[in-house]
Amino acid sequence: MYQRLNVVISGAQGYVGQELMTLINAHPCLNLVGIHVREGNIELPPSMPIFMRKTITIFSTPDLQQQASEIDVLLLATPANVSMAIASTLINTNILIIDLSGAFRLPEKQFIDWYGIPHTAPHLIQNASYGLSPWVVHSTDTMLIANPGCYATCALMTLLPLLKTKLIHPDSIIIDAKSGVSGAGKQAKPALMFAEISNNVYPYKLGKHQHIPEMCNHIEALCGTAIQLRLSTSLLPVVRGISMSIYTDVAPSFSSDKALSLAIKEAFDIAYEDYPLIQYAEVGQNDTCTDEFMLGLKNVIHTPYTHIGYLINNGQLTLYSCIDNLLKGAASQAIETINTLFQLPIQTGLLAAREEK
């Protein structure tokens, strides 16, 4: 019998925060003891799941400090500046902090350059463990985990097996990524109004997306390979999901497309042998059902899965991947992190939550 872990969410009003509440409610070993607010009062919005429309404990920061011995995990579904303030205040408690913002993913100088704000807790960065499941193994004394960004997650899950086996050239990677508008958060912005985004697709953060250095840094850390990549990000007129096309040169010489296909499948098989939340297949083989299932965004949203397709044509390789930006790109990946740290099967509580939705 596993122990039940007490969890608090900061930022529960946002899209990711609400996903976390759904997942924790369905998890057999997690107990949502309350939500954290830094100041003022909070009301649960009508869009909250029906099971959460009840009285719930509201924790201030002093409350968390005083009751730290009764709280196992604090999930920060907050903007980077808020995460920095909360983490710096609570880091010396016994609470495991999992931050879903970009506050602790980059070195201080890179953070300032790419996020455009000062870092108020730089002393915490080097001790923050990167939370990419299943690629990172956390030490038992880890107290701060920086979970990856959604684009970074989608790209790294696809590229890492091939870079580790040196199947692709590290300086040839071009990523064309498209995301639903929930990735921009819940704050009102004119450009994200229905009348603006409906029937429209447009690139944004041209050459300036903060997930670019995150990808490069962690590929080098996990593979020992310095890379250069180009990332284009666009908004889709859909609520959720990321669809990514990756173009890259194959590094070694293969005698045939079949030989290359076998090498790619073997790389994914080895990398994800013990990871159940991923599906991958060769596409473009005149199997319409496989192609539509692997590449269709609707087949991966509301699930914790990563879908990867690989297309080989005369020695040229194109990779396709998609995830739910609110789940594998944020909330369900945080639950994977908790499961791993507390020695639970990595998929615990994730598949049941989706089946009940």
Dump the DSSP string for 202-240. EEESTTT-THHHHHHHHHHHHHS----EEEEEEE-SSSS
| 253: helix, strand or coil | coil
Contact call for residues 36 and 87 (beta carbons, < 8 A): no
Catalytic residue among 29, 150, 223, 322: 150
Please state the rounded mean pLDDT for residues 80-84.
Answer: 96
Residue type, 249: D
Average pLDDT over residues 264-274: 98
| Residue 75 backbone dihedrals phi, psi, to 5 degrees | -100, 125
Q: In the predicted model, what is the mean pLDDT of residues 29-39?
A: 89
CA–CA distances in Å: residue 101 to residues 199, 334, 341: 29, 11, 20
Position 213 pLDDT exceeds 80: yes
pLDDT at 355 over 70: no
Q: Does 150 participate in catalysis according to the annotation?
A: yes
Q: Indicate the helix (H) or strand (E) that contains 86.
A: helix 80-90
Q: How many CA atoms lie within 13 A of 313 on its CB side?
A: 7
pLDDT higher than threshold 80 for residue 91: yes
Of 266, 219, 249, 230, which Cα lies nearest the Cα of 319?
249
Rounded Cα–Cα distance for residues 220 and 210 (Å): 17
How far apart are the C-alpha atoms of 21 and 41, rounded to whole Å? 19
Q: Where do the DSSP E strands lie in 67-172?
A: 73-76, 96-99, 129-130, 144-146
Residue 207: how many CB atoms within 10 A of its CB? 10
**Helix residue ranges per DSSP H, 27-79:** 61-66
Residue 354: the pLDDT is 47
pLDDT (tens digit per residue) in 93-110:
999 999 999 999 999 999
Least trusted range by pLDDT, from 132-141, 146-155, 168-177, 241-250? 132-141
Band (pLDDT 50/70/90 cuts) for residue 353 is very low
- Would you place residue 205 in the very low, low, confident or very high pLDDT band (cuts 50, 70, 90)? confident
